[in-house]
Amino acid sequence: MGSERRGVRAQDCFSGCVNRILSCVVRSLSLALLLVLLPPGACAAGGEGTSAKAARIDALVSRYEKYGYLNGAVLVAERGEIIYEKGVGYANMESRTPNTPRTKFGIASLTKQFTAVLVLQRVAEGKIRLEARITEYLPWYRKDTGGRMTVEQLLRHTSGLPPDFDFPEFSDSEAASQHYEPQAFAEKFCQQNLQFDPGTKWQYSNCGYDLLGLILEEVTGKSFDELLQERLLNPLGMNDTGMDGNDLTQKGGASGYVRHAGPRYVPGPYEDRGHIFSAGAMYSSVEDLFRWSLALSDGGWLPKEIRDQIFRPGIHDWGYGWFVTKIQPGEPGAGGTMEEMRGDLPGNFFSWILRYPECDGVIVVLRNAYGSTERLEQNLQAILFDQQPRMPSRNAKDMLARAWLIPEEWTVSHRSYSVVILLLLLTLVWQMARRRKGRRASPGI
């Protein structure tokens, strides 16, 4: 009986091993078949996979939070559904108000996406022509250059206007704090000589998108803010999005900060939003930008003909408000399409939205601590496409700064003890000085 039982157990063990091996082979073949059938750049699907992916994203975001590389909000979606969203750090560091997925951040040049759609809506209605010269809509603009530039060239950054992203008025300098109404600013700063024949080259121009906002106001008789609310934000339920009239904090939005080594944060410089206007004065939240992405997706709220125009890349891979590229070999999602745009309000806010249409994936990162990105968005992309991210590590500047910041923070938080210690040190120094003075005064041998 014992030998028979041992024989049965051995047979069962052998059968179990065979079954496990076959199961592994089937899973491997299924995975290989899935990888073959998936289109380039497609995200992996599955309930268990989604929950594991969210856990990996949280581990990554937590590491960035721990090292002080992220103060803001993150959202990641796949196949039209949010799989991860989180606020990190503080919207206001003085009041310790936490960031959340609904916190309002300045989104800077992401504004251009909304401006482009508003223009294309008017084009579809026959109220604006893409081929029209801008002097047809802005009669005050200089005729020698405005009579050569078209609306489409403003949208495409091919108008010939010089690049102005590093102009003082669009930086964190004193010039950026000066208030101008949009048209007054455009009359003074946006009528430069052209650097090349319109339509022949690409140069990023904030002024070009300011001019588009002024054209919209001229054609409709409404303010840009009114148009934005009526035609886009209200229909899409984007209640945490709008124009920043230098009152974002009064609307409950985040304050901007500059990150220094440590990390240590100081309030960002004041930058007047009036002249940034339709080129970059909007605010939004990660949840609202997800709604925006859904509206731009296949089958979304926006008509197909407008969607196709937005994401049709021209010179320098620029569509209308988006860079549209193929993900390079060796990168997560290689071969797939990536639609992205960054917003940069120097010393205050940094925003980034990335879309992956093959899997209807989106990554949104909004920051109100300016200074360190440390490849967060690229690492989120790696996880979205089931690859390994490169976890960040502390940098040397932060570690050196912490050596000073820790005792400094203790001193501030323990004032009474600090005063006692300081008095003791002064007393010790005074006594040592007295002894030294006494030794000098004593007669020699």
Encode pLDDT of 28-43 as tens digits. 333 333 333 445 556 6
8 A C-beta contact, residue 57 and residue 75: no
Instruction: Give the separation between CA 306 and CA 304, rounded to whole angstroms.
Output: 5
Q: What is the pLDDT of residues 96-147, one digit of tens each?
A: 999 999 999 999 999 999 999 999 999 999 999 999 999 999 999 999 999 9
Please indicate, yes or no, if residue 443 is contained in any of the structural domains.
no
The answer to whether residue 358 sits within a structural domain is: yes
Position 47 confidence tier, pLDDT thresholds 50, 70, 90 = very low
Kindly report the CATH number assigned to the domain that includes residue 274.
Answer: 3.40.710.10
Whole-number pLDDT of residue 430: 72
Of residues 10 and 409, the one with the higher pLDDT is 409
Rounded to an integer, the average pLDDT of 264-278 is: 94
For the ranges 61-75, 164-178, 199-213, 249-263, which has the lowest average pLDDT?
164-178
Distance (Å) of CA 160 to CA 163, 164, 205, 209, 285: 9, 12, 9, 13, 33
The phi, psi pair for 99, rounded to 5°, reads -75, 145
CA gap 148, 198 in Å, rounded: 7
Nearest partner of 79 among 297, 307, 261, judged by Cα? 297
Report d(CA 78, CA 338) in Å as an integer.
14
Tally of domains in the chain:
1
**Nearest of 287, 389, 280 to residue 345 by alpha carbon:** 280
Q: Please name the residues in contact with 133: beta carbons below 8 A apart, sequence gap of 6 or more.
A: 146, 147, 148, 149, 150
Q: What are phi and psi of 270, to 5 degrees?
A: -75, 130
Instruction: Answer whether 290's CB lies under 8 Å from 75's CB.
Output: yes
Output DSSP code: residue 203: -
Residue 369 is assigned to a structural domain of this protein: yes
Beta-carbon neighbour count of residue 204 at 10 Å?
A: 16
User: pLDDT-derived band of residue 46, with 50, 70 and 90 as boundaries?
Assistant: very low
At residue 246, the 3 state secondary structure works out as coil
- Residue in 110, 8, 180, 139 with CA at minimum distance from that of residue 345: 110
The confidence score (pLDDT) of residue 400 equals 80
Residue 101, both tokens: 């997925």
Cβ atoms within 10 Å of 214's Cβ, excluding its own = 24
User: Does an H or E element contain 259, and which?
Assistant: strand 257-260
State residue 10's pLDDT score: 40
The pLDDT of residue 335: 96
Kindly state whether residue 436 falls inside one of the protein's structural domains. Answer: no
- pTM tops 0.95: no
For residue 430, being part of any structural domain is answered with: no
The Cα 388–Cα 327 span in angstroms is 17
Task: Write out the residue range of the structural domain in which residue 331 sits.
Answer: 48-91+103-396
> For the segment 387-438, what is each residue's pLDDT rounded down to a tens digit?
999 998 887 777 786 665 555 454 555 566 556 666 777 778 777 767 766 6
- Is 254 inside any structural domain? yes
Which pLDDT does position 409 carry in this prediction?
A: 52
> Distance between CA 18 and CA 31 in Å, rounded?
20
